Amino acid sequence: MNLIQELYTRIEDANLWEKNLVLKRNEYLKVAGTTDTHVYFIVSGSIKISIVHEYEDHIIRFGYQNNFITALDSFITERPSDLFMQAIKKCELKVLSKSTFVNFLHSRIENKELWDRVTESLILQQLEREKDILISSPKERFDRVLKRSPQLFQEIPHKYIASYLRMTPETLSRLQKS
């Protein structure tokens, strides 16, 4: 069982989910300027996280089916952040408040240890993402991400992958055919 499955199972076993949420395609879960400290588990569907700068949507993360997603900056600081979270397709989510989640972490040392490993993995992912952005060759960015996140190419429409990879949809199509 991987870290994410393990975390999900423990929350499920403790019966902690506070509500279910259904998002229509393109519906926003969070917009810039708001505070959202919830932890979401994506039962089905997928979500994109982006910042908007000069009218352009820069996608920085995706949330996949059977994965957790949160507005990490708001979750940590409990303050408004400039992140948008939007459903790419119809989504079913399970929702947990930060306070319930924090209580869960502190209820058993094993939960906190598991979360520490998730946090380490997050830090490593952020470093890989930073390297991706710094690499100027579209081909190399594509290859790195294909190797790291095959799920991306199965679940996410191409126009969003192109935004995430900082290339035009045409360049992405060309790389996928090559």
Which stretches of the chain bind its own copies, using CB under 8 A? Answer: 51, 53-54, 58, 60, 72-73, 76-77, 82, 119-120, 122-124, 126-127, 129-131, 133-137, 166
Packing angle, helices 3-13 and 109-134, rounded to 10: 140
Using CB atoms within 10 Å of the CB of residue 58, give its burial: 0 to 12 exposed, 13 to 18 middle, 19+ buried. Answer: middle
Count Cα atoms within 13 angstroms, Cβ side, for 77.
10
What is the nearest approach in angstroms of its own copies to the Cβ of residue 57? 11
What is the nearest approach in angstroms of its own copies to the Cβ of residue 43? 26
Closer Cβ to its own copies, 4 or 21, answer by number:
4
Contact criterion met (CB below 8 Å) for 21 and 93? yes
Residue 54 to residue 166: CA distance in whole angstroms? 15
What is the nearest approach in angstroms of its own copies to the Cβ of residue 19? 26
Q: Count other C-beta atoms under 10 Å from residue 121's C-beta.
A: 13
Closer Cβ to its own copies, 26 or 119, answer by number:
119
Closer Cβ to its own copies, 1 or 134, answer by number:
134
What is the nearest approach in angstroms of its own copies to the Cβ of residue 24? 28
Closer Cβ to its own copies, 23 or 37, answer by number:
37
What is the nearest approach in angstroms of its own copies to the Cβ of residue 166? 8
Closer Cβ to its own copies, 9 or 77, answer by number:
77
Closest listed residue to residue 170, CA positions, set 132, 138, 129: 138
